[in-house]
Amino acid sequence: MAKRNLILIHRGPEYEQDFKEIARKVTAIDKGITVYALANSSMTQLPSLAWMWPTLVVALTPEYRLQVKRGTVLRNSQIEKFAQHEMFRKAGIPVPPMLPFRFGMTLDPLLFGEFVIIKPMDLDLTSQALGIQLFRRHRLERMQPRDFPLDHPIHKAREGYLVQKFIDTGPYPSYQRTQTFFGNVMYAWQTTLKNLRTPLDAPDSIIERAVIDIKGEGEKERTLVKVPEIERLAQRVHALFPEIPILGCDIIRDQATQNLYVLECNPGGNTWHISSKYGEVLRLGFGNAKANGFERANQLGRRMLIEQYGAFDIVAKTLVEKTRSLAS
């Protein structure tokens, strides 16, 4: 039996239970694979003899402390939003028209329509849903820096801003997150705002205060879903990034045309919401914390994410295939 190493690097203690379960499943499929699961901050180093065998490293984070002495490394890494958009567009994946924003620019009305969104390129801001705003296109074209409040993020966004066509997902804005592991769907849910979106015939002052980033403010309803055409689109996205282990692909549907559009794929790796701290709000919602209490709801929600598609079985089988073909 061929001997190989599989090194799984995760983001911290909250991930340990998941990766112990996955390691057991990998070994059950192929006893020739020795699995090491380590946190990215761990100072633990593998014994010298372990490096005798072909090795595959799969890291859900761009950085880690393990000294890799041989083998193939597949890891998550950040790709800025406009670069993602251009990759999608060139591959024929549907995306809303988008350009780097500059004051005084004129936008093609046929491409951008009546309404546009501006958003910062800075991932620290967008992860907090800060500085994302809806405008009528013709008004934005006339605006200057002085027209934005002094505390608006547009004045301090180090990486600049993007302008994107507004895709109307309906009176209750929604999007779907599909999590993939090397292109295989692990879980998927839809998030819908419970409050009505601002009417699009409202005055500019009201339009520009509208909550349009679903990840930000507002009460939300989240539901686990299986939508085959969205799964296929997320898999097409992941095929563009074969060396990135996990992606969280955000997809929206135009209410009028029913067309799907990809917004981003979150390649930084902080989307393993089966156990991540950020995913706690999801797990508590799926597990009904009001009825079941915090601890039980968290575990119920975790189990629901795992069982929706059989995430751990999918991950283990994929890791065995990758280790057999790529360990070196």
Write out pLDDT tens, residues 242-260.
Answer: 999 999 999 999 999 999 9
Whether residues 86 and 212 share a domain: the answer is: yes
Whether residues 85 and 190 share a domain: the answer is: yes
Report the pLDDT averaged over residues 272-291. Answer: 94
Residue 103 pLDDT > 60: yes
pLDDT digits (tens, 9 = 90+) for 161-175: 999 999 999 999 999
Report the pLDDT averaged over residues 168-189. Answer: 97
Question: What is the pLDDT at residue 219?
Answer: 86
Whether residues 194 and 85 share a domain: the answer is: yes
Whether residues 226 and 124 share a domain: the answer is: no
Q: Count of domains in the chain?
A: 3
Question: What is the pLDDT at residue 283?
Answer: 96
Domain that holds residue 42: 4-77+311-326
Whether residues 84 and 207 share a domain: the answer is: yes
Residue 234, domain CATH: 3.30.470.20
Question: What is the pLDDT at residue 203?
Answer: 95
Report the pLDDT averaged over residues 77-89. Answer: 95
Domain boundary among 137, 166, 195: 166
Question: What is the pLDDT at residue 99?
Answer: 96
Residue 72 pLDDT > 80: yes
Whether residues 73 and 83 share a domain: the answer is: no
Average pLDDT, the chain: 94
Question: What is the pLDDT at residue 214?
Answer: 74
Q: What percent of the chain has pLDDT over 70?
A: 96
Does a structural domain hold residue 289?
no
Question: What is the pLDDT at residue 129?
Answer: 59
Q: Which pTM value belongs to this model?
A: 0.94
Does a structural domain hold residue 279?
no
Whether residues 47 and 148 share a domain: the answer is: no
Question: What is the pLDDT at residue 125?
Answer: 57
Report the pLDDT averaged over residues 210-236. Answer: 89
Does a structural domain hold residue 291?
no
Question: What is the pLDDT at residue 106?
Answer: 97
Residue 127 pLDDT > 90: no
Does a structural domain hold residue 305?
no
Q: What percent of the chain has pLDDT over 90?
A: 86
Residue 317, domain CATH: 3.40.50.1400
Does a structural domain hold residue 250?
yes
Whether residues 22 and 116 share a domain: the answer is: no
Per-residue 3-state assignment (H helix, E strand, C coil) for the chain: CCCEEEEEEECCHHHHHHHHHHHHHHHHHCCCEEEEEEECCCCCCCCHHHHHCCEEEEECCCCCCCCCCCCEEEECCCCCHHHHHHHHHHCCCCCCCEEECCCCCCCCHHHHCCEEEEEECCHHHHCCCCCCEEEEHHHHHHCCHHHCCCCCHHHCCCCCEEEEECCCCCCCCEEEEEEEECCEEEEEEEEEECCCCCCCCCCHHHHCCCCCCCCCCCCEEEEECCCHHHHHHHHHHHHCCCCCCEEEEEEEECCCCCCEEEEECCCCCCCCCCCCCCCHHHHHHHCCHHHHCHHHHHHHHHHHHHHHHCHHHHHHHHHHHHHHHHCC
